[in-house]
Structure formats: C-alpha cells, structure tokens
Amino acid sequence: MKRKVWEGIRLENLQSVADEIVVWLQGAPPLWCFEGQMGAGKTTLITSLCRSLGVQDRVQSPTFSLVNEYLTREGELIYHFDFYRIEGPEEASRIGADEYFDSGTICLIEWPERIAPLLPHETVQLRIIPQPDTSRTVDVSIHGTTQ
C-alpha cells in the first residue's frame, strides 16, 4: 500500500491540493473511493479533482441519477457515482456498475461502503476528515497494487 496525507486543506487551497493528488495518483487504479461523513466535502473535492483532470462539464453529485459522466478536454470519460441512496450492491449491479468499474476509466465513487462487495481489490481510497478548525485532512492510499 502506498499512502500520502494532506492536512490543513481549506477551500482557498483545495485546487492546488487536488492538482497534487492527481499527479500523485498517476498510474494508480482507476477506481477512486471517497469516504467521509455527510458534509465532509467529498463532492467538493471531486469537483476540484475533475478540474485537475481536465473536465470542462459542470460537476455535481449524482445523488438521484447514481452516475454522472464527464468528458475531459482530451476526450476521455470520467464516471462519478453517488451510492448514498442505493439499497445495496444488487441495485448497483442492476445499473451496470460492474461494467463501469471494469472499463479502465476513472470512476469517482462516493459512499463506496454501500457497494463494497462489487469493488475490486485494486482501488484508491480518499478519506476526508473534517478538523475542529474547519480545515480538512485528506488521507489517500492505493490498495492492492505494488505501485
């Protein structure tokens, strides 16, 4: 496992941290799992990461649609999932989550614990931890690979 932690993140420095995370994750598995309590900033971080990845579309949480598709400047797809309202892994399978996950395309997954049995061993985990001073800590680890 490879791991890096960013501390003291505030909105004003979030984009530069997102830029660093994207560089650090080059060559990592394409499934990026975002963990954190409600309101921790998962979607906000995803929005900045998408900018770093060249997404020009409007990034918003797919809470009701379950998945949004974004296109980068280079014409590459990125999928953004929000499994908060999902009933379980079976529902995710019915929408074809396995096919998205096997596509080799970056998949940004909010609430991955709700579909854990569907996730492959090789993933990136991004834990967002709110701090008492309102800053955030982002703990990023790459699992299941020797990278």
Please state the rounded mean pLDDT for residues 9-37: 97
- Is the model's pLDDT at 147 over the cut of 70? no
Summary count for the chain: helices (H), strands (E): 4, 7
Q: What is the pLDDT of residue 144?
A: 85
| Mean pLDDT across the chain | 95
DSSP reduced 3-state for 97: helix
Domains of the chain: 2-143 (3.40.50.300)
Residues constituting the chain: 147
DSSP reduced 3-state for 66: coil
pLDDT digits 0-9 by tens, 86-98: 989 999 999 899 9
Q: Provide φ and ψ at 137, rounded to 5°.
A: -110, 135
pLDDT digits 0-9 by tens, 70-82: 999 999 999 999 9
Residue-wise burial string across 5-21, b where 16 or more C-beta atoms lie within 10 A, e elsewhere: ebeebeeeebeebbeeb
